[in-house]
A and B are shown apart, each in its own frame.
Chain A
């Protein structure tokens, strides 16, 4: 087990900066998920921790020991790759024990460990088959078994579930989380799938363009995003972003002319008085379509379309040429309704910098 520390980590490929000055501490036994769009540098960071990519500058420390100059095989890490990396010419059994054999571990010890992972991963029936005979999900399970068999200090997972069928992915995700807690191994997991990140992570590291945008627990990032990117990347459907324009006694929503006032709609006064241009970020679950006879403040906005996702009903509307989403909370589905913005869901962003605009961010 180990604590991982990244200090001023920079990785460049030619003139391209893949990882830009990253600092991070992953605590011993912690499950950290790197989340971000493709090309954001999350996989490169992971590969540099693994020792497959050389850091251009900065330090990678395992338990305070600098490992930059150690090769992957000397770092006592294990890794599961995005695409199946089982050795096709070896049986499942031989695949799993490969890391032990490569290190010259004694036969009896190998047999004991094999029994253990076979038990944990329920691989008994597949041991004497070849990888080609297994479905992709089962193959990744074998890859995971191969990774943990020698008690690595650090477990690195590079989008391990992305090549697996949706149905099996759920199950694997659950098993993976369960296993990690059971083993207590420090784990770094890379994904672009926010659902995976939110269900697995102790902490999420959100990355964009080679930099860390925000680090925190899933709820923390969801309710308190530091900028527009964080707000939009996490949460599904995605957060609405609406331009705010100064108006007499409040703000208008974009070019629509719809008015938002402190008294009626709960618009914070500081936002109304802000001298910088702001955008309103509001998640669809805080934009409610209510019945015509709804008591309380509501906005006069035309509804474009209503659609269902599972048991939830959503609707779309537009302000200017921007399309936004909200939740349909009407008791009866009719052609008319009124829109309510829940003030507890208001997030304000500085239009120019993208950063959260608030009197106190930690609210």
Chain B
């Protein structure tokens, strides 16, 4: 409600707050803007001082990322296409499986009380909390032993592992939002619980499944630590490939900026999909349920 009187101090504070908000917005969005325009700069423009805001757009960064145009067949070609394919396959398959398993587990955790449920919930969320490098010490050995090192299949396993906790908790949150009566009425009318789950409850959480998938995809797509240690050549994902651009000849900034933008584009698309469920996704389905 509007306050009846605005004193000078109130007014000064208000402008100060607005100023700080604008400053933060610049801090927040500036780097993304800078990344975007830098990706269109030529190598010359990239290093000029003072930095140019207006310049002739140059696609050499993107050409070298995709290995086309002037960068085709050249030694400096980045050739990112293969790792792009790896990223897409690993992220989509991993996401699909994590969401599938998370939906099943989330439903059971939402609807049933069973002994060890709390432990299971903690166990499954620990996948989100564990420091990747800690488990990697052993994964490194295990993957080599099982022939999973540097394979997409191995990375898909990791993507499931890394997202199953998130998927279970978010889906539990969405299932908690569906009243128990939905199944109870179906069961009273002679349907099985399985039927109620498949034909009544699942359609009600379609949006939730999509949002969960969006979150899992973004995290799988951005994943770096596991992929960087468990791949060497053929299964490299895009983030790993980008980090490899800091090679012996110094860092290829044009390529890195362009590759960074390429990496962000799918994230933007999925971010748009999940924007309404952001709170829920980031708090494991505990807050912001609707």
Contacts and interface: CB of A to CB of B under 8 A. Distances in A.
A187 interface: no
A288 B4 CA distance: 55
Contacts of A191: none
Interface string B1-19: 1111100000000000000
Q: Is the interface of B mostly helix, strand, loop or mixed?
A: loop
A72 B3 CA distance: 8
Contacts of B2: 53-54
Nearest to B7: A71
Interface string A39-73: 00000000100011110000000000000111110
Nearest to A73: B3
A77 to B, nearest CB: 12
Measured as residues with beta carbon below 8 angstroms from the partner, the interface class of chain B is under 10
Contacts of A71: 3-5
A53 B3 CA distance: 8
Q: Which of B3, B4, B5 has the most CB of A within 10 A?
A: B4
Measured as residues with beta carbon below 8 angstroms from the partner, the interface class of chain A is 10 to 19
Contact of B5 (A47, A52, A53, A69): A69
Contacts of A70: 4-5
B6 to A, nearest CB: 9
A56 to B, nearest CB: 12
A51 B1 CA distance: 10
A127 B280 CA distance: 37
Interface in A72-115: 72, 74
A70 to B, nearest CB: 6
A67 to B, nearest CB: 9
Nearest to A47: B1
A52 B1 CA distance: 6
A69 B3 CA distance: 9
Contacts of A52: 1
Nearest to B1: A52
A53 B1 CA distance: 7
A218 to B, nearest CB: 32
Interface in B1-43: 1-5
Contacts of B4: 51, 54, 68-72
Nearest to A75: B4
Contacts of A74: 5
Interface string A183-217: 00000000000000000000000000000000000
Interface string B117-143: 000000000000000000000000000
Given A69-B5, A72-B4, 6 more contacts: A47-B1, A69-B4, A70-B4, A70-B5, A71-B4, A72-B3
18 contacts: A47-B1, A51-B4, A52-B1, A53-B1, A53-B2, A54-B2, A54-B4, A68-B4, A69-B4, A69-B5, A70-B4, A70-B5, A71-B3, A71-B4, A71-B5, A72-B3, A72-B4, A74-B5
> 5 smallest A-B Cβ distances: which pairs?
A71-B4, A52-B1, A71-B5, A71-B3, A51-B4
Interface of A: 47, 51-54, 68-72, 74
